[in-house]
Amino acid sequence: MIIQKISRVLSNYDNILPLFAGACAILAVVALLSLPLPYFEDQLYPKQIVPGSTLNPYDRGGPPFTRVDIRLQYPENSPTAGYVTAYLTPFSLFLARNTMYMGTTIVAHPGGILDEILYNTRGLDTVVEPTILFISFAIAAYIFHRRED
């Protein structure tokens, strides 16, 4: 009987999202109750802030085309890790030498620690992510085109 009732509620797809949201809300409460969680101090890819650097907060050292040491999970799998971190495009090098604003725009230029993580050491994540974007876009484009007929 109870299973029948549950399946009747579940079979109405309008109830699915409220149920799932309710489950998430309950788990959020559980998370709040379990709270003081430890912070593991010895993290990978630690953040350093170098005050006064034009590349602040992304100054990880190293002139272009040299290697810097970064702390990654499996150094033996990425033999060239560190080159991308140190690389600056000619335009961004010009900005870094002449202005104080390079650090705020470094994520827009090729090179830097974020590109190192995104493209090189954790490249598979970033391959899956444009695939999700690609699939969503394909769905949207298909539904859009279908309205033509």
Partner 1 sequence: MNEIGGIPLFYLEFGDIVAYFSPFTLALFLLALVFSVFVIVSRPERQIDIAFGADAFFAKDISLAELRFRRFMAIACGLACMGAMVTGDVFDFTLFVSLVGICNVGIVAAVKNHHVQDAAYQYGLVALAGTVPLFSAAAIVVTTTGSLSMLELASPGAPAVPLIARALLVLGVMGEGMAPFYAAKAEMFRAPGAPYVIMCSLSSLLIFLRVTEVVLLL
Partner 2 sequence: MAWNEYSFGLLVVFLAALVGFLALARERDDLHKLLLVDLVEVASIAVIALLGTDLAEALILPGLVVGIAELLALSQLFIAKEGIAGVPARGLNIEVVQKSPATVIIPGFLVVYGIILSGFTGGGVAALGLVFYFMSHRFLGDFHVLELASGISWALWVAAFFVFMFAPEFWFLALMGAAVGILLKVITKISLVGVMWGEPQ
Pseudo-torsion of CA 120, 126, 130, 135, nearest 10°? 130
Binding piece for partner 1, criterion CB under 8 A, among 55-63, 69-77, 86-94, 104-112 = 69-77
Buried/exposed 83-113: b ≥16 CB within 10 Å, e otherwise = bbbbbbeeebbebbeeeeebbeebeebebbb
Size of interface with partner 2, in residues (CB under 8 A)? 68
Distance, in Å, from the CA atom of 57 to the CA atom of 90, rounded to the nearest integer, reads 20
The reply on whether position 29 binds partner 2 by CB under 8 A is yes
The interface partner of residue 137, options being partner 1, partner 2, none and the CB cut-off 5 to 8 Å by kind, is partner 2
Residues at the interface with partner 1 (CB under 8 A): 7, 10-14, 16-17, 19-21, 23-24, 27, 30-31, 34, 37-44, 72-74, 77-78, 81, 120-125, 128-129, 131-132, 135-136, 138-139, 142-143, 146
